Amino acid sequence: MNAPHPTAPLREQLYRDMDPLNLTPLWEVLHALVPPQPASPCVPALWKYEEVRPFLMRAGEAITAEEAVRRVLILENPALRGQSAITQSLYAGLQLILPGEVAPSHRHTQSALRFIVEGSGAYTAVDGERTTMRPGDFIITPSWTWHDHGHDETGPVVWLDGLDIPMIRFFDAGFAESASSKSQAVARAEGSSFARYGHNMAPVRHDAPFGLASPIFSYPYERSREALDRLERDAPVDAWDGVKLRYINPLTGGSPMPTMATFMQKLPAGFSGKPWRQTDGAVYSVVEGNGEAVIESGGQSWRFAFSPRDHFVVPSWHTARFSSERGCVLFSYSDRPVHQALGIHQEERLS
Ligand code: GTQ
């Protein structure tokens, strides 16, 4: 038997005596504080739309959009229950709006993205300009812009909300306020932002109306899809990503909003991708087609068979690879711009 270390009682007594002064010995926690590589508490998770949708529709019976302010079911990481987080830094939720409803106008420092999952004809209004929502469209609500959502047409409309809520909470930097009127007055014609900034041109003056965020509110699916189709036909397919593009702020070439990067990718039919890992955990929304994601970390492995409108999360530094027999299209977002701004982004492409 090993004799107890002669200093052990000394240390125990030290810890007990200094505890009331809120003092803790670094050497007991150093390894966990400065890990040799990221050790995310998040786990990979998949939400099948066919399983989630009935609960969204029940939410539609249980509460109005106006009473809820935002009628959303939060996609919580199973390892972070109660924290309204899908990764340590990101929030995801599915928002439902029904014909005739209004989600009242407010603004907050948290940035939001919308990715339209089901239905058409709802609108979101951002600082006086409305944008009609269609499946596959990517829409932004920059920090501190007034926004309300409404629906004057038919059928339920569901979209994915991606926000930097946990990140802003981490920094204790959140502000919010409600508007005095439910819906904003329309100040500009629909499509005027896209006309000004969406054609590789920009106004001659005043060309950054939303500071760090993109002046384009809506990136229509047909444009993104057309680009991916053309690249699939005419350019080499990447062995890890298939055909993948990032959305940009046309004024800077950077991400549409400072805290979140967004991507659209197509896996061609028969694609069997090589594995990769990156420090930015990412949330995926399946747009079209079926496929499989295999995610591995610390000897554990997850295999997700995904279909249109399903959502899944790949946490930081988990190894992932994608495949698709008949081809598919995936939208995703992550906190990559923050990693890049801090100079800590890491990516590995494995073979
Ligand atoms: O639409 O403004 O899912 O403020 C969570 C917080 C949506 C929104 C969410 C929000 C919103």
Q: Which atom of ligand 1 is nearest to the CA of 149?
A: 1
State yes or no: pLDDT of 312 exceeds 70.
yes
Q: What's the CATH number where 127 sits?
A: 2.60.120.10
* Three-state secondary structure call for residue 185: coil
d(CA 307, CA 102): 30
> What CA–CA distances, in Å, run from 279 to 123, 226, 283, 340, 343?
34, 30, 13, 10, 11
Tokens of 330: 């995936």
Tokens of 230: 């053309």
Residue 7 resides in a domain = no
Q: Which of 1-5, 111-115, 150-154, 211-215 has the lowest mean pLDDT?
A: 1-5
Residue 4 resides in a domain = no
Distance 16 CA to ligand 1 centre (A): 45
Q: Which of 178-182, 217-221, 312-316 has the lowest mean pLDDT?
A: 178-182
Contacts of 59 (CB under 8 A, 6+ apart): 68, 71, 73, 96
Give me the mean pLDDT over the 323-336 stretch. 98
Distance 218 CA to ligand 1 centre (A): 17
Cβ < 6 A, ligand 1 pocket: 70, 72, 93, 95, 108, 112, 147, 161, 163
Q: Which atom of ligand 1 is nearest to the CA of 103?
A: 1
Q: Which atom of ligand 1 is nearest to the CA of 93?
A: 3
Give me the mean pLDDT over the 279-299 stretch. 98
pLDDT at residue 2, rounded to an integer = 66
| Number of structural domains the chain divides into | 1
Q: Which atom of ligand 1 is nearest to the CA of 161?
A: 3
pLDDT at residue 1, rounded to an integer = 57
d(CA 280, CA 109): 22
Mean pLDDT of the chain, nearest integer: 96
- Per residue in 224-261, pLDDT (tens digit) is 999 999 999 999 999 999 999 999 999 999 999 999 99
Residue 178 resides in a domain = yes
- Per residue in 186-221, pLDDT (tens digit) is 999 999 999 999 999 999 987 788 899 999 999 999
State yes or no: pLDDT of 51 exceeds 80.
yes
Phi, psi dihedral angles at 345 (to 5 degrees): -70, 135
Give the pLDDT band (50/70/90) at residue 342: very high
Residue 23 resides in a domain = no
Residue 189 resides in a domain = yes
Residue 24 resides in a domain = no
